[in-house]
């Protein structure tokens, strides 16, 4: 039996196992819940996640395509400093645990956009949800690219990039649709375990493949830059990662849904703290693999293939295990994104706009939205080449959300009726300018910096010029605000 056939069998076995675990999760949830067909049961696992499920799910969201293939791509070009993408994500998770878990739990929410609706009105809630959907859209595209790249590189006789992306999309959607959030949590226990085993194996075989640490260091084109903890990316990009995830983790639906799904505050807090610590070292390991790829394949045409190109040099069974582990990272992120988008659309767009929304079958609607989201993002995935640039552009919208969230929870007197909606619109304009005006893009090293400047100025100006206070409508919100003051 050829090594490629062995690798294929390992991957197929793993895919079948994930689907089986999804059905088990659905059965377990139905047995435990009196109303397993409710939207809260499907999208939030009946708010029953313990520490372990919270931990593996937030780790899974963090270590998707960007935390594996994307970092290896940057490691190929810039060295070990590429690992700060995951390092900054980890710091963002830990800060969120201390600053936001208690506050968000006290509001009894299903989506993060509900805060903006409760504080500023339904128009703001709608605009907020559109921005959240766009962010998830950007991140989801990267999962297909990474999944397709891994499958097509290791198993070229079985998969093209396109067919690998298509198969990845089918598995992502199946897991999310079978058992909802509980399915995602249970499969993440398997995914994260395999992911960590696979990256340890990958590092060992990678170093062995280049002849050891000495030959790896000697083969780098610029040893000093590649080994420096910051200089490869540059301080500006390093700082942008810290800012990006400081604002992203507490404000994006995909990264806070586990707080809402947790059974209590302690489970959410512990899950995020342990999860953050688990994410912290991971990126530096994948950056090292990318560096080895630079030594082994110095003229790689598509640098996004750096990680798969290294994996393909491993023995068949080893390559299959590592492939399945890296591919599992995409599964973990993608299933959370699919469910997060369904929750956003149903709770923050469909229900507010449709008067008889109480009559809908939320589970069926969630699955329909999941299919639409998957098809649209898969189509767009064929046109994106550089993972982290595209993802960070979408994530930069979180700057506006963070400014609004901090002001609303800590400085409510600064919040005016139009503060949120105008700040959000300003962030959309920044992204549009960044995408279409080269002169504007050339003024900054990263999109996060114009977002910080323009969104902060917008919020400050509205706070001074608008004389109408934010409505702060919901009783739960008002109660939480009183508890915090």
Report the distance separating Cα 296 and Cα 283, nearest Å: 20
Quick one: CA torsion of 71, 165, 22, 179, rounded to 10 degrees? 100
In this predicted structure, what is the pLDDT of residue 334? 82
Q: Once rounded to an integer, what is the mean pLDDT over residues 64-78?
A: 84
Q: Which two three-digit tokens encode residue 298? A: 């110095």
- Residue 216 DSSP SS3: helix
Contact call for residues 172 and 378 (beta carbons, < 8 A): no
Place of tokens 């819940």: 33
70 assigned to some structural domain: yes
**CA neighbor of 89 nearest in space, from 359, 337, 282:** 282
pLDDT band at 484 (very low <50, low <70, confident <90, very high): very low
Q: What is the mean pLDDT of the chain?
A: 83
The pTM is what?
0.82
Half-sphere exposure of 286 (CA within 13 A, CB side): 36
Q: Once rounded to an integer, what is the mean pLDDT over residues 56-80?
A: 86
In this predicted structure, what is the pLDDT of residue 246? 92
Least confident of 247-261, 373-387, 389-403: 373-387
Contact call for residues 160 and 417 (beta carbons, < 8 A): no
In this predicted structure, what is the pLDDT of residue 482? 43
Place of tokens 């990678």: 206
Least confident of 53-67, 360-374, 385-399: 385-399
28 assigned to some structural domain: yes
In this predicted structure, what is the pLDDT of residue 479? 42
Which residue would you say has higher pLDDT here, 154 or 273? 273
pLDDT band at 351 (very low <50, low <70, confident <90, very high): confident
Any idea what the Cα angle at residue 204 is, between residues 200 and 206, rounded to 5°?
A: 110
**Positive or negative, the Cα torsion across 260, 428, 124, 243?**
positive
- Residue 469 DSSP SS3: strand
Alpha carbon distance, N-terminus to C-terminus of the chain: 68
For residue 165, what are the contacts with CB-CB under 8 A and spacing of at least 6?
A: 144, 145, 147, 148, 378, 381, 382
pLDDT band at 458 (very low <50, low <70, confident <90, very high): very high
Report the distance separating Cα 371 and Cα 241, nearest Å: 32
For residue 121, give its domain range.
3-395
How many helices (H) and strands (E) would you count in the chain?
Answer: 25, 0
Q: For 200-212, write each residue's pLDDT tens digit.
A: 999 999 999 898 9
For residue 413, what are the contacts with CB-CB under 8 A and spacing of at least 6?
A: 469
CATH number at residue 96: 1.20.1730.10
In this predicted structure, what is the pLDDT of residue 477? 44
Q: Once rounded to an integer, what is the mean pLDDT over residues 335-348?
A: 82
Report the distance separating Cα 206 and Cα 299, nearest Å: 18
420 assigned to some structural domain: no
- The answer on pLDDT for 63 being more than 80 is yes
- The answer on pLDDT for 358 being more than 70 is no
**Chain centroid to CA 141: how far?**
11
Q: For 264-298, write each residue's pLDDT tens digit.
A: 899 999 999 999 999 999 999 999 999 999 999 99
Q: What CA–CA distances, in Å, run from 122 to 343, 401, 412, 471? A: 16, 16, 18, 11
| DSSP letter for each residue of 63-111 | TSTIIIIIHHHHHHHH-GGGGHHHHHHHHHHHHHHHHTHHHHHHTT-SS
Q: For 392-432, write each residue's pLDDT tens digit.
A: 677 788 899 999 988 988 888 899 999 999 999 999 999 88
Q: For 164-179, write each residue's pLDDT tens digit.
A: 888 888 988 888 888 7
Least confident of 39-43, 129-133, 249-253: 39-43
132 assigned to some structural domain: yes
**CA neighbor of 48 nearest in space, from 67, 28, 68, 64:** 28
For residue 231, what are the contacts with CB-CB under 8 A and spacing of at least 6?
A: 81, 224, 225
427 assigned to some structural domain: no
pLDDT band at 480 (very low <50, low <70, confident <90, very high): very low
Least confident of 73-82, 110-119, 275-284: 110-119
Any idea what the Cα angle at residue 99 is, between residues 98 and 101, rounded to 5°?
A: 75
Q: Once rounded to an integer, what is the mean pLDDT over residues 110-121?
A: 82
In this predicted structure, what is the pLDDT of residue 384? 61
Count the neighbouring beta carbons within 10 Å of the beta carbon of residue 40. Answer: 18
| DSSP letter for each residue of 411-428 | -GGG-BTTHHHHHHHHHH
Report the distance separating Cα 46 and Cα 37, nearest Å: 10
pLDDT band at 160 (very low <50, low <70, confident <90, very high): confident
Q: For 17-45, write each residue's pLDDT tens digit.
A: 888 878 877 777 676 665 555 556 666 66
In this predicted structure, what is the pLDDT of residue 267? 93
Which of the 8 DSSP states describes residue 228? S
- The answer on pLDDT for 348 being more than 50 is yes
Q: Once rounded to an integer, what is the mean pLDDT over residues 239-267?
A: 88
- The answer on pLDDT for 481 being more than 60 is no
Buried b (16+ CB within 10 A) or exposed e, 110-141: bbbbbbbbbbbbeebbbbbbebbbebbbbbbb
Quick one: CA torsion of 282, 285, 290, 295, rounded to 10 degrees? 170
In this predicted structure, what is the pLDDT of residue 476? 40
In this predicted structure, what is the pLDDT of residue 389? 59
Partnered with residue 423 across adjacent β-strands are none
The domain tally of the chain equals 1
402 assigned to some structural domain: no
**CA neighbor of 134 nearest in space, from 336, 376, 422, 366:** 376
């Amino acid at each position: 039996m050829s090594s490629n056939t062995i690798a294929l069998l390992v991957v197929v076995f793993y895919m079948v196992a994930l689907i089986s675990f999804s059905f088990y999760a659905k059965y377990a949830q139905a047995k435990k819940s009196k109303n397993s067909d409710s939207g809260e049961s499907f999208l939030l696992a009946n708010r029953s996640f313990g520490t372990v499920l919270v931990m593996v799910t937030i780790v899974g969201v963090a270590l998707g395509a960007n935390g594996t293939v994307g970092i290896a791509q940057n490691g190929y070009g810039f060295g070990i400093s590429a690992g700060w993408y995951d390092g900054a994500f980890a710091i963002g998770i830990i800060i969120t645990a201390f600053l936001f878990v208690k506050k968000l739990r006290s509001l009894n929410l299903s989506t993060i956009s509900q805060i903006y609706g409760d504080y500023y009105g339904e128009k703001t809630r709608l605009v907020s949800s559109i921005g959240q959907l766009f962010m998830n859209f950007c991140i989801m595209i990267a999962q297909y690219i990474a999944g397709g790249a891994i499958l097509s590189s290791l198993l070229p006789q079985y998969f093209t990039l396109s067919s690998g992306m298509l198969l990845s999309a089918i598995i992502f959607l199946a897991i999310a649709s079978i058992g909802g959030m509980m399915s995602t949590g249970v499969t993440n226990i398997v995914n994260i375990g395999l992911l960590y085993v696979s990256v340890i194996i990958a590092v060992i075989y990678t170093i062995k493949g280049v002849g050891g640490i000495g030959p790896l260091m000697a083969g780098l084109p610029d040893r000093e830059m590649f080994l420096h903890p910051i200089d490869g990316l540059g301080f500006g990009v390093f700082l942008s990662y810290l800012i990006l995830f400081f604002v992203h983790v507490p404000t994006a639906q995909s990264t806070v849904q586990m707080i809402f799904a947790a059974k209590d505050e302690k489970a959410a807090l512990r899950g995020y703290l342990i999860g953050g610590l688990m994410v912290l070292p991971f990126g530096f390991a994948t950056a090292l693999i990318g560096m080895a790829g630079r030594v082994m394949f110095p003229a790689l045409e598509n640098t996004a293939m750096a990680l798969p190109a290294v994996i393909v040099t491993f023995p068949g069974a080893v390559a299959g295990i590592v492939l399945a582990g890296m591919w599992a990272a995409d599964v973990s992120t993608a299933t959370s994104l699919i469910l997060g988008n369904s929750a956003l659309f149903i709770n923050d767009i469909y229900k507010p706009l449709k008067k008889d929304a109480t009559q809908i079958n939320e589970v069926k609607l969630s699955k329909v939205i999941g299919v639409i989201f998957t098809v649209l993002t898969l189509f767009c995935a064929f046109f994106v080449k550089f993972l982290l640039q595209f993802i960070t552009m979408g994530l930069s919208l979180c700057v506006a959300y963070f400014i609004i969230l901090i002001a609303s929870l800590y400085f409510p007197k600064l919040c005016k009726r139009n503060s949120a909606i105008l700040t959000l619109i300003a962030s959309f304009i920044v992204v549009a300018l960044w995408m279409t005006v080269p002169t504007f893009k050339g003024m900054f090293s990263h999109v996060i910096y114009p977002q910080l400047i323009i969104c902060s100025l917008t919020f400050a100006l509205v706070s001074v010029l608008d004389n109408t206070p934010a409505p702060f409508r919901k009783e739960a919100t008002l109660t939480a605000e009183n508890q915090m003051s």
